[in-house]
């Protein structure tokens, strides 16, 4: 199919992607100018690509993200990707996540308190409200910096606005192949705008890195030296810049590796390398999670019976844990977890993946030649009636163990799959659980904007094209 209106609005592009997936099922070809893409959505075909170690190179359009992310974990490939993945994987080990639960719970309490302080029913514009708190979380957990204590609100808001602007520019460029040329784009008004936005984004992350390095310098790098030598880190409640020493942030691992690289020049990790990963995780760790929480709240507000069942489970689990949320309590919220999984089926934050095929690959129906860009249609497979009966219905019980058992494992891919699956998926689920549990425990959710009326757009992640609201009604407990 020849695409002649790629420069249409992002809402139109979203509708186009949905229509193409249904019209040319299970495989089709899209082309515009000199670029062509093969789109697939059958689980067998998705498994062939995602499970392979040969097809891990991200598609050519991801290069428009290089000015922002460089070639960090999201955009790198080959030996660099393997090396970065190896460095960063320990940051998401269960024992590390367990240390961060108190931060998740503390932030969910801040969120709840901000609503309670109003003292009455509150209608909130969800996206800015949620993303503010998910940004606090990623900074304090993965970066080891208390954003609330160290940075003024205006600085934080400037960063969030810049993220919104840069994602719009990325999609703008992806949908205009003549701007794939770095030179042509840099000469355009949008290229000049991007330069100003990148100054804000990189300035923000560089300040975070500098703050964390200063922390380690003041502690004589003892903490990092223990980390490098795999020794037990000294655990105490001494705080510098509001951060307890016992917490191992992802940024600490990067800094530790950069120090070790001074002795091993073959494994050099520069300040720019560190920034690549910080930029990547700052975006992926707060924006995608914020969208997941937003859609979950919208769905729970519309489905009162499911909301009440979630609330009963939360109240019961909290009663068993002395009225507080803990790691064990969050793990025991099995029905809430099913609700979140169903939310991510209907509204997967990352709704597509692009891969370059490095060699000929045989799918069910066709042989795809080397050099092809593949569009892996995650949203399409999540709503395919061949694998999800009544796919438009919100039904958390789809994820009961007995119903999962016979389902194709590649028909559900909210965190991708295979060697390039999402490194932070357990962290993301814990964060969504903690924030939603606190809100549902303290408020009745009422719909304001109904999902049937919400218009989606083809952004870097799934996103409403307009503000969406939920009404929070305080629960009066005796």
Task: Give the model confidence (pLDDT) of 298-317 as tens digits.
Answer: 999 999 999 999 999 999 99
Q: 314 vs 108, 201, 242, 319, 321, CA distance in Å?
A: 14, 38, 30, 8, 11
Q: Are 234 and 226 in contact (CB under 8 A)?
A: yes
Fold of 10-467: Cytochrome p450 (1.10.630)
Which phi and psi (to 5°) does residue 374 adopt?
Answer: -100, 130
pLDDT, residue 211, reads 85
**Mean predicted confidence (pLDDT) in 223-233:** 52
Kindly report the CA angle at 461 between 188 and 76, in degrees rounded to 5?
Answer: 75
Mean pLDDT of 184-201: 96
Cα 38 to Cα 31: distance, rounded to the nearest angstrom: 9
Please give the Cα distance from 214 to 160 (Å, whole number).
25
* Confidence band of 252 (pLDDT split at 50, 70, 90): confident
CA-CA distance, 383 to 272, in Å (whole number)?
Answer: 40
Using one digit for the tens of pLDDT, what is the confidence trace for 109-133?
999 999 999 988 999 999 999 999 9
Between residues 478 and 345, the one the model is more confident about: 345
Instruction: Say what percent of the chain tops pLDDT 90.
Output: 62
Q: What is the mean pLDDT of residues 2-23?
A: 75
Q: Give residue-wise pLDDT tens across range 402-446.
A: 999 989 999 999 999 999 999 999 999 999 999 999 999 999 999
pLDDT: which is higher, 478 or 452:
452
CA dihedral 137, 141, 147, 149 (to 10 degrees): 110
Mean pLDDT (the chain) is 88
Cβ–Cβ contacts within 10 Å for residue 367, how many? 8
pLDDT of residue 4: 45
Query: Domain boundaries in the chain?
Result: 10-467
The predicted pLDDT at position 22 comes to 87
Considering only CA atoms, give the Rg of the chain: 22
Residues 389-396, mean pLDDT to the nearest whole number: 97
With cut-offs at 50, 70 and 90, classify the pLDDT of residue 237: very low
Average pLDDT over residues 88-108: 87
Structure tokens at 258: 């950069």
Would you state the pLDDT for residue 374? Answer: 94
- The percentage of residues in the chain with a pLDDT greater than 70, rounded to a whole number, is 90
Residue 241's nearest CA partner among 231, 232, 251 is: 251
């Amino acid at each position: 199919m020849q695409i002649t209106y790629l420069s249409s609005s992002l809402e139109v592009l979203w509708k186009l992607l949905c229509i193409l997936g249904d019209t040319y099922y299970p495989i089709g070809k899209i082309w515009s100018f000199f670029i062509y893409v093969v789109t697939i959505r059958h689980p067998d075909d998705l498994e062939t690509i995602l499970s392979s170690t040969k097809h891990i190179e991200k598609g050519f359009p991801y290069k428009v993200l290089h000015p922002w992310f460089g070639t960090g974990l999201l955009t790198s490939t080959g030996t660099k990707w393997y090396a970065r993945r190896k460095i960063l994987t320990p940051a998401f080990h269960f024992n590390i996540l367990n240390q961060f639960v108190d931060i998740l719970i503390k932030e969910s309490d801040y969120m709840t308190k901000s609503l309670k302080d109003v003292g009455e029913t509150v209608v909130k514009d969800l996206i800015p409200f949620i993303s503010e708190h998910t940004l606090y979380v990623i900074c304090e957990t993965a970066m080891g910096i208390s954003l609330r204590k160290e940075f003024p609100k205006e600085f934080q808001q400037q960063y969030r606005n810049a993220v919104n602007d840069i994602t719009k520019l990325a999609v703008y460029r992806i949908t205009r192949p003549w701007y794939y040329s770095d030179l042509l784009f840099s000469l355009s008004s949008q290229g000049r705008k991007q330069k100003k936005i990148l100054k804000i984004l990189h300035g923000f992350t560089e300040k975070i890195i500098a703050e964390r390095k200063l922390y380690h310098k003041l502690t004589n790098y003892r903490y990092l030296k223990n980390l490098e030598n795999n020794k037990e880190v000294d655990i105490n409640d001494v705080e510098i810049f509001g951060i307890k020493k016992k917490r191992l942030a992802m940024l600490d691992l990067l800094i530790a590796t950069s120090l070790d690289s001074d002795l091993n020049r073959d494994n050099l990790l520069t300040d720019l390398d560190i920034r690549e990963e910080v930029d990547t995780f700052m975006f992926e760790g707060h924006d995608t999670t914020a969208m997941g929480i937003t859609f979950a709240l919208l769905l729970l507000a519309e489905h009162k019976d499911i909301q009440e069942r979630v609330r009963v489970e939360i109240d019961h689990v909290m009663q068993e844990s002395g009225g507080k949320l803990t790691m064990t309590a969050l793990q025991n919220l099995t029905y809430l977890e099913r609700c979140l999984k169903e939310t991510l089926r209907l509204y997967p934050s990352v709704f597509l993946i692009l891969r370059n095929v490095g060699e000929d690959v045989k799918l069910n129906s066709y042989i795809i030649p080397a050099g092809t860009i593949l569009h892996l249609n995650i949203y399409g497979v999540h709503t395919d009636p061949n694998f999800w009966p009544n796919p438009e219905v919100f039904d958390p019980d789809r994820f009961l163990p007995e119903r999962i058992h016979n389902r194709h494992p590649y028909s559900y891919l909210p965190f991708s799959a295979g060697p390039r699956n999402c490194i932070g998926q357990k962290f993301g689920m814990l964060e969504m659980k903690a924030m939603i549990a606190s809100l549902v425990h303290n408020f009745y959710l009422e719909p304001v904007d109904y999902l049937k009326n919400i218009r989606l757009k083809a952004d870097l992640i799934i996103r409403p094209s307009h503000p969406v609201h939920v009404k929070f009604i305080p629960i009066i407990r005796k």
